[in-house]
Amino acid sequence: MDRLKCMEVFVQVVRAGSLSAGAAACAMSPVTAARHVQALESRLGQALLHRSGRRQVPTALGARYFAECAEVLARVENADALGDAGASGASAAASAMHAARRPLGQLRVSAPTTVGAHLLMPLLAEYLRTHPDVALDLDLKDRAVDLEEEGIHAAFQAGGLPEPGLVAHTLRGVTRVACASPAYLARRGVPRQPGDLAGHDCLGFRYDDAHGRWQLADGPRGATQAHTTQHDVRLIADNPFAQLQAAVCGMGIALLPEYLLAPEVAAGRLVRVLEADATVSEPMHLVHLAGRYVSAKLEDFVGYMVARLGPEACPA
């Protein structure tokens, strides 16, 4: 079978959510559509669709394959449009080169939950407005992701240096500060320095440490040789929004990103503590796989984000 036709049928089935609807979009019977999808699966040696019930949803491999097929088909359609335009000579060559590097297709992007939902969302909204031919699949996870295994084109990573095999673009760091509710501080007192936390309930985030423990620089902000201390926690959460709500409810002191904390502080529901003595500034990188072809959509997305979130960019 023609491989491009098989890809077209597979893409239509995924978009429609069912084999029969996808087949109708391709003007063929469900049986014929199923054979086209099966031809791809035989070639790959793995299933692309979960076939349970009336709806067909892609497997993990199917979701990745769908994104690549959609881009291939879009580029074929774009190439056909060049011929329809009737361009010739140097003008046609220039048009073809421009089309080949035009951002096009779906881009899978991963980010930590709060980074994606708060820091990135306004930028992603603007990116989509200015890039009508690109679609974003945003995967928010508070854990390290395997770009190759999970089919991620680009990932925002907070913390230490990225692993080998990744191209890393340095972004502005994320500053986190300690905070607690006024009721909690009235009941337990206000910690002035990291050593005072020994008598307090700290709220931990499992992404930082398996036991949710804090690590704070015990010294003035900006100190070049600060002593690091660990603080055990009373409650551990694997979601920063849960940690935020726990702090608002007076359960203890949380260590949260400034951009997530700001609305609660402005509303008086939380109060910053330890400001002068302890903050955590985490590096952040935008990474993608090394040694691979960098598509126009990925190249453009990385450039767009670095221009707005890089160390040299003006703060929003």
What CATH code would you report for 173-282? Answer: 3.40.190.10
Residues of the chain within CATH 3.40.190.10 domain(s) are 98-170+283-309, 173-282
**Quick one: average pLDDT of 248-255?**
93
CA distances from 28 to 12, 25, 139, 256 (A): 12, 8, 34, 54
pLDDT value, residue 227: 41
- Phi then psi for 144, rounded to 5 degrees? -70, 140
User: Could you give the angle at the alpha carbon of 207 between the alpha carbons of 299 and 264, nearest 5°?
Assistant: 90
Can you name the CATH fold of 3-85? Answer: Arc Repressor Mutant, subunit A (1.10.10)
The string of pLDDT tens digits covering residues 154-175 is 999 987 777 888 899 999 888 8
Residues of the chain within CATH 1.10.10.10 domain(s) are 3-85
**Does pLDDT of 225 surpass 90?**
no
pLDDT value, residue 231: 60
pLDDT value, residue 97: 46
Q: How many CB atoms lie within 10 A of CB 194?
A: 23
**Does pLDDT of 139 surpass 70?**
yes
**Does pLDDT of 244 surpass 90?**
yes
Q: Which of 291, 297, 310, 300 is nearest to 167 (CA)?
A: 291
Following DSSP, what letter does each residue of 73-133 receive, concatenated?
HHHHHHHHHHHHHT--HHHHHHHHHHHHTS--EEEEEEE-HHIIIIIIHHHHHHHHHH-TT
The string of pLDDT tens digits covering residues 31-64 is 999 999 999 999 999 999 987 766 788 888 888 8
**Quick one: average pLDDT of 103-110?**
86
Give the C-alpha separation, 22 to 31, whole Å: 11
What CATH code would you report for 98-170+283-309? Answer: 3.40.190.10
Q: How many CB atoms lie within 10 A of CB 20?
A: 15
